[in-house]
Structure 1
């Protein structure tokens, strides 16, 4: 019997987070929070596929469980109903990290127990055949004939000028490469970073030039811009011109009181983006709703919409959003922070679909 491939797999880690607010803040420290780039990416894929439990069970990942793994966290993860492989090792501690929050958005991060990275050889055959992958470091995978979607977020510590050539080589075969707006700048010296438009920085990042040759692979850069949303850039090689599609964040300036902690928002965005770039969601009511509002001209724009909505739930609290699930006859409903994913999607499309369609109309066929 042939192995059924997963819809989504992450190479990112699971981490138990703690948050400490630095003086003069008197906020109480929070401990045993679900965290890690891989965890949030899985949550993004889960949110994008909500409430479909069949797709949810095709979201596959590995959680390294140490001797101190909190049972309450396992219960929380199990509620997501994903294909989670708990890899237990009682000889080590669970990977934990400390996050320090200071004034003026100052943030500090450090591991407080040894980390354990995932390697290609850790994956099952089902995971290796996945339709999509999320990566923080660039892994080498023996890819099947049907190329999967690969979404890569470069490690911030390696977003440096002397790593640019390495990045350009490593992105070959990636579907999406996605630094955030600050990481994009750190690939270049200050004069370039502070004086060039983002589109020109992206052009330098990607090494785009005028050519009449078809590229062997086509990688789309998407720059995540925090509260300002995200922008995808498209290079038209014959004319050496660039067009872009910008999607605002779900939370407008009038809604900022709902934004509590942006931690994990970018990872969640990319997990949702990855699964939405495949055909996994095309039978879902959410996909039909997006198609009705913007058409199917751009798989990237469709995926960005899913990603924008998914990320919006994660930043409304410290840690992960609350999930309530109910069943009416045979139909399952999922409420994230009290709201179904599709309801938030409807609000966003009502507000933004015309602007998105206008931008898509400017991209040459």
Structure 2
């Protein structure tokens, strides 16, 4: 068994997604080809931009329709990342993303196979240093209870609330689980919705929402962080002991023609955040810059970013979409005055 402790493991699922586009009347306006896209895959690849594959982990449930194309695509990032479980009696989890104007809907087409911390026991993914999960607040409590029952495992937990449960009715459950969470990261619309704030997102409202979550008490003894992902406004990170910081989206104010599809950007951001924590000695504020760079590669094309060169060295010698992550990191830090 691989004895390397993983720096990052996601509990996100592998999903074969389809994309359906509707006009304002609800009529079909075209449908893309199915693509491999999932919460977990984008998060894992977001971390892979910075870390070698043997430091990253994700469970992949392979149904009887799992194609060789999917297999080869995943293995191109490094087969050490993936823990495959065959499910020959069922289809791979599938879903459809429905776009109607600025609104996005999401619907599962097959039953889900949820992944929990217990699934990691006895695999090379056990006891990772950073654990990412995407779910409702009530399920987040179940996940944290499983983590706490696992011996002395105390991972940094990165919790991404699932969009359709970011509603005011879920706030009590969120309040209950927040003290167990290291890093809370909704996007701006989700953060405001949880707090019953109905105005459109603005930097002022996002900062207010962040302060309220911190007042509720993120992390043990309130020592956690909140990172609110805010699209082209960037991301806002704060804790109780450091002033909040806005980190620009990489392409904001630059050549925005690079922005092709934002699908998976938030998941990739959080994978990059976890990798950044490993590279900055746990400095969440510094790690947000790694997160923003990971998202910048994800939004440049449909689907996952391309690993365009590979060597036997660490990821700093690799290229993604024919560019170097470290170059973008230095650029973003310089523009932000964070050196």
SS of residue in 2 equivalent to 1:127: coil
Aligned to 2:303: 319
Out of 220, 226, 235, the residue aligned to residue 221 of structure 1 is: 226
CA distance in 2: counterparts of 1:151 and 1:133, whole angstroms: 6
Shift of 1:28: 5.2
Aligned to 1:100: 98
| Structure 2 unaligned blocks of 5 or more | none
Alignment RMSD: 2.9
CA distance in 2: counterparts of 1:215 and 1:120, whole angstroms: 20
Q: State yes or no: 1:201 paired with 2:205.
A: no
- Cα pair 1:150 1:274 within 8 Å, conserved: no
**Cα gap change, 1:144/1:270 in structure 2, threshold over 3 Å: closer, same or farther?**
farther
Cα deviations across residues 311-347 of structure 1 (Å, max 9, x unaligned)?
100011111112222449x788422111122222233
CA distance in 2: counterparts of 1:119 and 1:173, whole angstroms: 16
Cα deviations across residues 256-292 of structure 1 (Å, max 9, x unaligned)?
21101111000111111123223xx36xxxxxxxxxx
Aligned pairs for 1:73-152 within 5 A = 73-81=70-78, 82-103=80-101, 105-125=102-122, 126-137=124-135, 138=140, 139-140=143-144, 141=147, 142-143=149-150, 145=152, 147-152=154-159
Q: State yes or no: 1:252 paired with 2:252.
A: yes
**Cα gap change, 1:194/1:118 in structure 2, threshold over 3 Å: closer, same or farther?**
closer
Q: Specify the structure having the higher radius of gyration (Cα).
A: 1
**Cα gap change, 1:340/1:122 in structure 2, threshold over 3 Å: closer, same or farther?**
same
Cα deviations across residues 59-81 of structure 1 (Å, max 9, x unaligned)?
01100110111211110100101
CA distance in 2: counterparts of 1:161 and 1:273, whole angstroms: 27
SS of residue in 1 equivalent to 2:125: helix
Q: State yes or no: 1:267 paired with 2:267.
A: yes
- Cα pair 1:173 1:218 within 8 Å, conserved: no
Shift of 1:300: 1.3
**Cα gap change, 1:158/1:230 in structure 2, threshold over 3 Å: closer, same or farther?**
same
Shift of 1:46: 0.3
Cα deviations across residues 146-178 of structure 1 (Å, max 9, x unaligned)?
632110011222222222121122122322101
Instruction: Give the TM-score normalised by the residue count of structure 1.
Output: 0.80
SS of residue in 1 equivalent to 2:154: coil
**Cα gap change, 1:145/1:351 in structure 2, threshold over 3 Å: closer, same or farther?**
same
